[in-house]
Amino acid sequence: MTPSLSPQRIAALCDPAARSVALEVVPETGSTNADLLGRLDSLQGPLLLVAEKQTAGRGRAGRSWLSAPGASLTFSLAWKFNRPLQALTGLPLAVGVSIAQTLQQFDVRVALKWPNDVMKDGKKVAGVLIESAAVERHADGQDPAIWAVIGVGLNLAMPDALEAQIGRPVAAATWLAQLDRNILMAALLNGLTETLQQFERDGFKVFVPRWNALHAYAGQGVAIVDRGAVLHQGIAQGVDAMGRLLLDGSNGRIAVLAGDVSLRIDRDPLS
């Protein structure tokens, strides 16, 4: 059995920059994202909340994120930005790059599916859900503070019963399930801290080459779907400086903004 998650152990394994993040580990909660969103008024700085088990974890578009204790790593990071809300465009993709590069440090080869999934062997191994909020500052004359709550779910193992409950293809980073999760969590937090600091300075544009190098469906036919309806079809190219997917269709190139749309493989994209 791998060691339990410990804030002290995680902090001891972190780089100096990541030690500015407050750490909490709880045995069970509904949703780490919801918990942090409810605490933004009282936060003085960045906070990482890790749950051994989430009973109401959420993904994009209101989907549930199902997990089993010890079989996944589920956490949320609250981070305050000194940038306007509209400047956070592309943040989910930058976070995806960070997670992918951290997993590669452990010899787990992954790719990125636009807009916010991490893929292994063609199946989802991790997902990102970012929710933002403007929190009023009490000092007169100051603009609201812009917070992002970055939720991440990473499959380490995939019990048969859980896979059946999920009902769609998912992957697991199996050998990471044998690793001390404190080591993995510290590495992820190190990467996220560096990523968020760089995003604060430079925005998404500096992450574009890294995201494109990890693009799972570059040059493949895809369809962009919203609630079951196909909105766009074409050949997936990279992303631009705003994090929009560049899609070459029958009428030329378009740039697709994420929202709540999803991407799927399309064998006949220009029909």
Can you tell me the mean pLDDT for 41-56? 92
Which two tokens mark 106?
């452990």
pLDDT tier at 184 (50, 70, 90 boundaries)?
very high
pLDDT at 244: 95
- Per-residue pLDDT tens digits for 4-36: 899 999 999 999 999 999 999 999 999 999 999
Domain assignments of the chain as residue spans, ordered by start: 7-213, 221-265
Tell me which amino acid residue 119 is.
Answer: M
pLDDT at 3: 73
pLDDT at 2: 64
At residue 42, does pLDDT exceed 80?
yes
pLDDT at 19: 97
Report d(CA 42, CA 188) in Å as an integer. Answer: 25
For 30-139, where are the alpha helices, taking DSSP H only?
A: 32-37, 91-105
pLDDT at 149: 97
Least confident of 31-40, 43-52, 162-171: 162-171
- Provide the CATH topology of domain 221-265: SH3 type barrels. (2.30.30)
The CATH number given to 7-213 is: 3.30.930.10
Report d(CA 153, CA 59) in Å as an integer. Answer: 9
pLDDT at 174: 74
Can you tell me the mean pLDDT for 134-155? 81
Percent of the chain with pLDDT over 70: 82
> Which one-letter DSSP state was computed for residue 211?
H
Can you tell me the mean pLDDT for 198-204? 97
Contact indicator for 118, 112 with CB cutoff of 8 Å: yes
CA dist 204 to 89, 99, 117, 264, Å?
7, 15, 17, 24
pLDDT tier at 257 (50, 70, 90 boundaries)?
confident
Q: Is the peptide bond before 209 cis (omega within 30 degrees of 0)?
A: no
Contact indicator for 221, 233 with CB cutoff of 8 Å: yes
Least confident of 71-75, 92-96, 148-152: 71-75
Contact indicator for 229, 262 with CB cutoff of 8 Å: no
Which stretch, 66-70, 84-88, 168-172, 255-259, has highest mean pLDDT?
84-88
Residue 10: closest CA among 187, 174, 176: 187
Side-chain-facing half-sphere of 17: CA atoms under 13 Å: 12
pLDDT at 228: 81
Length of the chain counted residue by residue: 271
β-pairing verdict for 245-249 and 229-239:
antiparallel
β-pairing verdict for 145-155 and 123-135:
antiparallel
At residue 161, does pLDDT exceed 80?
no
